[in-house]
Amino acid sequence: MPIKVGVPRETVVGERRVALVPAHVASLTKVGIEVVLETNAGLSSGYTDKDYTDKGATLAPDHKTLVAGSDVLLTVHRPDAEGLKNDQTVIGMMDPYQPSPVFTTFIQKNITSFSMELIPRTTRAQAMDVLSSQANLSGYKGVLLAGDLLPKIFPMMMTAGGTITPTKVFVLGVGVAGLQAIATAKRLGALVSAFDVRSAVREQVESLGAKFIAFEVGDASAAGGYAKELTPEQQNRQKELMADYLRTQGIDIIISTAAIPGRPSPKLITEAMVKSMAQGSVIIDLASERGGNCELTEPGKIVVKHGVSISGPINVPSQVAYHASQLYSKNITTFLLSLIDKEKNLVVNKEDDIVAATLLTWKGQPGSEKIAKTLGL
């Protein structure tokens, strides 16, 4: 019997992405996988049912029918616990650091589940790295959101009416989102500077034509390319140096991206820093889903405090759902195909480093002792 892979319509409010795009259906069907799509699952992303059926997928009329007929579910977010059947496999972004009744359902129904956010940052796993693919789009979109709020233009212009000076953009946190924010702001003509606690990213910042600001607080590089949390003394020193920089350099826009997986976003921008910024300045806090880097951020809202517009956008990749789905689909199909053996069976090899890192539950048991603690099981 061929493996049946189901793609449901996402139910999270405001989510427009879909887990599989039509272009990747063929990569699954050619290895004997049957792809079934919930009707209109891709419509919010710009993909019609006909786009899918033209590529060899079939349609399920509703969510219940889709789930009941699927061996594997490909999702963007955690699936609804209701309706999952025994012994299914579920692959998606499971947000394992936040409690959810769906994890208990995984245990009760012997479900094997994988969390795509836990893909390791290794060379072999690059094509599966959803955090990077989605953060890349967040960095791009964050700059455009800032441009909408700022009462200025980005580039320098010399006109008969006078010279317009370029906007100054400061990027806080130089991961994937930060690097794309730098590149996008530079393309728009801004003067860009950036800071990160990992001194190794200086070369990347400078290669994009931006200035790396070295607040001397000590290096905080951690495994997997992430940043580790600073000590209280380092945090205070960083805030002092950054406050002085913002006060003296006339920064128009801050794009803030600093996040630590599984932990609240570090508070890097104080109210005093906001007060020191010019009227009409903008802060785009891309770390708002975990509380934000700015003390005044209100997740999901745009607020004006001390004359500064502070935006805490939620689920930014969903705002560019067509391409976000395209990249996510490539990540998740590459991961799924890595589980299919030569006999076209789905095999969970717990010795594989990618499988071991992402396996939340395996036949109703926590994937590892570490995962059991993370899920609160």
Q: Which of 27, 47, 113, 129 is an active site residue?
A: 129
Q: Give the orientation angle of helix 321-338 with respect to helix 130-149, to 10 degrees.
A: 170
Q: Are 323 and 335 in contact (CB under 8 A)?
A: no
Q: Is 263 a catalytic residue?
A: no
Indicate the length of the chain as a whole number: 377
E strand spans, 62-210: 72-74, 89-92, 112-115, 157-159, 162-164, 168-172, 191-195
Q: Which of 54, 98, 124, 126 is an active site residue?
A: 126
> Can you tell me whether residue 206 is helix, strand or coil?
helix
Q: Is 126 a catalytic residue?
A: yes
CA 255 to chain CA centroid, Å, is 15
Q: Is 140 a catalytic residue?
A: no
Q: Which of 49, 202, 226, 235 is an active site residue?
A: 226
Cβ neighbours of 278 (radius 10 Å): 12
Collect all residues with Cβ–Cβ distance below 8 Å to 74 and sequence separation of at least 6: 5, 6, 7, 19, 20, 91, 92, 332, 336
CA nearest 135: which of 180, 85, 197? 180
Q: Is 121 a catalytic residue?
A: yes
Q: Is 196 a catalytic residue?
A: no
Q: Which of 44, 132, 138, 329 is an active site residue?
A: 132
E strand spans, the chain: 4-7, 34-38, 58-60, 72-74, 89-92, 112-115, 157-159, 162-164, 168-172, 191-195, 211-212, 253-256, 282-285, 302-305, 308-311, 359-362, 365-366
Q: How, if at all, do strands 308-311 and 302-305 pair?
A: antiparallel
Label residue 82 exposed, middle or buried (CB < 10 Å: 0-12, 13-18, 19+). Answer: exposed
Amino acid at the residue 322: Y
Q: Are 119 and 354 in contact (CB under 8 A)?
A: yes
> Can you tell me whether residue 192 is helix, strand or coil?
strand
Q: Are 233 and 212 in contact (CB under 8 A)?
A: no
List, by residue number, the catalytic residues: 121, 126, 129, 132, 226
